[in-house]
Structure 1
């Protein structure tokens, strides 16, 4: 056991292994497990969505109602992720729906009400469960009212006298902007006066509520923490992040290699590990398997992969203007993803004209994502912004060199070959321009064609890099202790 272990409640809107839409879920599974392995008493809470398969069979740990108005009834069901206890807050009125946040690309109209109820219930349940956390770790806008209520509603409440709060920013573009009228579950909002949360006379943002009231603010990479203090990087909340600059700490996410490891990956036609002959044979077999799977000619050419949501954040709009020019070169490209239908249509049209070189698969496929990571030589992440990013870390684990824009966690995790050849793990460009992306793709292709031995050395070196949650968890523990002190 750890010396003086902390009690930690990790609050998130999704958790990998139970329900997931994005990278937040990966963190909400892996970080608590890493903290648990370090001997901390960590528990997780999330909404009890109907979609969680294990929910109905899970034992009821608590059946109660909010002590504060509007006294909404709810249940707490107890689940687990590995050794970590998970509390699912079940309230059919809010969470018995087909999806988590939206249907048919339309957010649920009462999302403000739903997640403010969830925030209130997270704190309401703790004395009733007799779990007294030292630290409550909130994540993104959905849980922004947790630090807010801890500071305002529970300021004089003896049970929480020694409890401190952290909020992690996984993506500040999503702020949870709602009118006071959309928050009927919080009596604190009925007076229409909430300077820590308000952005106008009529509206609040739940992210601001968390950032202005948490004891410490965390960003999911050191560079993203710096970017949040700028107008461009904060998407309009620079003033708030600058006000909290003294308490703002960036910690790079780890990677859960149990899912992303080419030596144990059942999705691959041939497994391989970080040894030269194994890597070369495995990647050759996976490249052939990928070409067969997506219908590209089975040729020994440079293959570029991309797996992402089709959004401008992921830099698809930098790729589209230069794509046909790139496809004149002797290389292949595979893109897998769903999202903006306009971007999907444009990619599909170009793929139809260049079917011998470019395959576009409009789907969310975990199996294909693994095959793209293993079968590609290069992996494209030309993001407009990227708080942390995980695919560049997965790519390195598979000996696939990431091509990134040097922002956020991409800058913190990928070393560009032109800057430091000996320790390089990929290629980077800075200016958000299509021509810059084309230039770095051409640079990588020349490297593949003209420096074969050096390319293979760099791939093997990339495979040997490790971004472990254990190290990140130690940094989080230090952050928690600084909040408590």
Structure 2
């Protein structure tokens, strides 16, 4: 396979998070493909639990001054970057104090999902897409990890469908159980519709459950991968029924075949 530009979009990554299926999975995939000569970059939220000084994050000044409108609210977008410790891989952090400064990434002190997790995920999604466009760095493949990244196919196929910058990008979704028991606020559809997304055309958004957004990402991706060996029944069933190229849970095997197959998929007109 010729060298590719691969973008990983994730909410968690070792060493900024403890080891779990997502944080370790992204790290291992990115490291392996980077070692094979690919241009690999990673985007994640800059949660409050990430120590800026310890990991030597610094603001990308040339990307400063961007704002995103989320559900009629004007929110500032700050981009910070660091090198993955021990590697020469760049990690970009999407920062916004309103959404990501909290010490807990997803839940409040009562262990309840944050009421605005839908807004936070949409901000993250739009922040990633607008940033790579401003960087003028066009990935060949975007690889998604976790429910917070699962909004990206919806926006690519709607808001950015006619943008030539994104026209040749292929999308891989790794499917995890993370967030499968969560429920977004009742404003979810209104947030998407504010961005002119026709939610009636989203096949799985019949409720506000996180798992529905994960299923939308699976349907909207070119390739799907099991990020965990055992998925909940709802996701397992969709994985089995999918007609898209798909790969079972991979541990120590060479992952290059995933990107090779995805890169060869023809763009549908």
TM-score between both structures, scaled by the size of structure 1:
0.48
Structure 1 position 243, deviation (Å) = 4.6
Q: Aligned in 2, Cα 1:482/1:8: closer, same or farther, shift over 3 Å?
A: same
Residue aligning to 2:157 = 151
Give the unaligned 5+ runs of structure 1: 254-466
Instruction: Identify the structure with bigger relative contact order (alpha carbons < 8 Å, sequence gap 6+).
Output: 2
Alignment of 1:370-449 (within 5 A): none
Secondary structure of the residue aligned to 1:127 is helix
SS in 1 for 2:184: strand
The alpha-carbon deviation at position 194 of structure 1 amounts to 4.2
**Which protein has the bigger helix share?**
1
Aligned-pair distance for 1:75?
A: 0.8
Cα distance in structure 1, aligned partners of 2:181 and 2:217: 10
Question: Structure 1, residues 317-355: CA drift from partner, whole Å, max 9, x if none?
Answer: xxxxxxxxxxxxxxxxxxxxxxxxxxxxxxxxxxxxxxx
Task: Answer whether contact 2:145 2:175 (CA < 8 A) is retained.
Answer: yes
1:59 aligns with 2:58: yes
Higher Rg of the two aligned structures: 1
Question: What is the CA–CA distance in structure 2 between the aligned matches of 1:142 and 1:475, rounded to whole Å?
Answer: 26
Q: Which 4+ residue blocks in structure 1 deviate beyond 3 angstroms?
A: 67-71, 182-186, 188-192, 240-243, 482-485
Change (3 A) 1:174 1:237: same
**In 2, Cα distance between equivalents of 1:16 and 1:169:** 18
* Aligned residue in 2 for 1:249: 247
1:477 matches 2:259: yes
Rounded Cα–Cα distance in structure 1 between residues aligned with 2:128 and 2:101: 18
Partner of 2:82: 79
Q: Distance in 2 between matches of 1:246 and 1:184?
A: 30
Give the TM-score, by structure 2 length: 0.83
> What do the CA deviations read for 1:113-172 (whole angstroms, capped 9, x no partner)?
211221121112111111111111111222111112111221110101111111101227
Unaligned runs of 5+ in 2: none
The residue aligned with 2:233 is: 234
* Residues 50, 95 of structure 1: 8 Å contact kept: yes
1:162-173 counterparts in 2 under 5 A? 162-171=168-177
Q: Distance in 2 between matches of 1:123 and 1:30?
A: 23
RMSD: 2.8
Instruction: Indicate which of 205, 216, 220 corresponds to 1:209.
Output: 216
Quote the residue 2:130 is aligned against: 124
